[in-house]
Amino acid sequence: MTNPSLTSEFTISRSHKTNRTSPAHWIWSHTARYWWILLIIIIGATGNASLAAMVPIYIGEAFDAITAALPQTERLLPLTLLIIGSQLLRALLQLGRNFGADLIAQKLERNIRDELYISLLGKSMTFHNIQPVGDTMARATNDVREINFMYSPGVNLVVGSFLFMVMPFYFAPRYHISLLLVPTLFTITYFIALWEYLHSLSPVTDAVRSAFGKLNTRLAEALDGIETVKGAAQEEAEVSFFNKQARRVRDTFVKQGDLEARFVPMLLYGLALGGGLLHALILYSQGEIKIGAVIAYVGLLEMLQFPTFASTFAYTQVSLGMSSARRILELLNSETLLDQNADGYAANMRGEVCFRSTAFAYNPGDDVLNDISFTVSPGQTVAIVGQTGAGKTSLVKLLNRTYETTEGEVLVDGVNVHDWNLASLRQQISIIEQDIFLFSDSIAENIAFGKPNASQEEIIAAAKAAQAHGFITSFEEGYETTLGERGVTLSGGQRQRLALARAFLTDPRILVLDDSTSAIDSATEDHIQRAIAAAAKGRTTFLITHRLSQIRWADLIVVLKNGHIAAIGNHDQLMKTSEAYRRIFSE
> What is the 8-class DSSP label of residue 403?
S
| pLDDT in the model for residue 530 | 66
Do domains 20-332 and 353-586 share one topology? The answer is: no
Strand order in the sheet with 429-432: 429-432, 510-514, 540-544, 381-386, 556-561, 564-569
pLDDT given at position 522:
60
**What is the spatial distance between Cα 409 and Cα 389, in angstroms, rounded to a whole number?**
22
Q: Which of 48, 310, 324 is nearest to 158 (CA)?
A: 310
pLDDT the model gives residue 538: 76
β 429-432/510-514 pair status: parallel
- b/e per residue 115-134 (b: at least 16 CB within 10 A): bbebbbebbbebbeeebeeb
SS3 call for 381: strand
**CA 450, CA 231: separation in Å to the nearest integer?**
35
Confidence at residue 295, expressed as pLDDT on a 0 to 100 scale? 93
Q: What is the 3-state secondary structure (H, E, C) of 420-463?
A: ECHHHHHHCEEEECCCCCCCCCEHHHHHHHHCCCCCHHHHHHHH
pLDDT value of position 48: 92
| pLDDT value of residue 5 | 44
> Among residues 340, 342, 352, which one has the least CA distance to residue 401?
340
Q: Where are the domains of the chain?
A: 20-332, 353-586
Task: Check if the beta carbon of residue 563 is closer than 8 Å to that of residue 574.
Answer: no
For 192, residues 6+ apart whose C-beta sits below 8 A from its C-beta are none
pLDDT at 280: 92
* Residue-level pLDDT at 318: 87
Closest CA to 434 of 497, 516, 500: 516
The partner residues of 564 in beta bridges, in order of sequence, read: 561
How many whole angstroms separate alpha carbon 462 and alpha carbon 439? 18
User: 10 Å Cβ neighbour count for 486?
Assistant: 15
Sign of the alpha-carbon torsion through 400, 485, 445, 537: positive
- The per-residue pLDDT for 86 is 92
Q: Give the C-alpha separation, 460 to 420, whole Å.
A: 32
Radius of gyration over alpha carbons of the chain, in Å? Answer: 35
3-state secondary structure string across 224-249: HCHHHHHHCCCHHHHHHHHHHHHHHH
The residues near 368 (Cβ < 8 Å, ≥ 6 apart) are: 360, 361, 362, 391, 394, 563
Question: What are the residues whose beta carbons fall under 8 Å from the beta carbon of 566, sequence distance 6 or more?
Answer: 386, 559, 560, 578, 580, 581
Q: How far apart are alpha carbons 582 and 412 in whole angstroms? A: 31
Topology adopted by domain 353-586: Rossmann fold (3.40.50)
Pairing of strands 407-412, 353-363: antiparallel
Which strands, in side-by-side order, build the sheet including 415-416? 366-376, 353-363, 407-412, 415-416
Q: How far apart are CA 431 and CA 384, in angstroms?
A: 14
Contact (Cβ atoms closer than 8 angstroms) between residue 567 and residue 582: no
- Pairing state of beta strands 381-386 and 540-544? parallel
**Long-range contacts, 170-176 (Cβ 8 Å, 24+):** 170/53, 171/53, 171/57, 171/296, 171/300, 172/297, 172/300, 175/289, 175/293, 175/296, 175/297, 176/283, 176/288, 176/289, 176/293
What's the pLDDT at 2?
38
Residue 179, Cβ neighbours under 10 Å: how many? 26
Question: What is the residue-level pLDDT of the chain in tens, covering all 587 positions?
Answer: 334 444 555 555 555 678 888 898 999 999 999 999 999 999 999 999 999 999 999 999 998 888 877 778 888 899 999 999 999 999 999 999 999 999 999 999 999 999 888 888 877 766 777 777 788 888 888 889 989 999 888 899 889 889 999 999 999 999 999 999 999 999 999 888 888 887 887 888 888 888 877 887 777 777 777 767 767 677 787 788 788 888 888 888 888 777 777 777 778 888 999 999 999 999 999 989 999 999 999 999 999 988 888 877 788 888 888 888 998 998 888 766 566 777 888 888 999 999 999 999 887 777 889 999 999 999 899 999 888 788 888 899 899 888 888 899 999 999 999 889 888 888 888 888 777 778 888 889 888 888 888 899 999 988 888 878 888 898 888 899 888 665 667 777 788 788 888 888 888 889 888 875 555 556 656 666 666 676 667 789 998 887 777 787 788 999 998 889 988 988 888 888 888 788 776 65
- Terminal Cα-to-Cα distance of the chain (whole angstroms): 53
Question: What is residue 80's predicted lDDT score, i.e. its pLDDT?
Answer: 92
Note whether 77 and 192 are within 8 A (CB). Answer: no
Secondary structure E strands in 224-380: 353-363, 366-376
CATH topology of domain 20-332: ABC transporter transmembrane region fold (1.20.1560)
DSSP state of 468: -
Contact 500, 536 (CB under 8 A): no
pLDDT in the model for residue 519? 52
CA–CA separation, 392 vs 561, rounded Å? Answer: 9
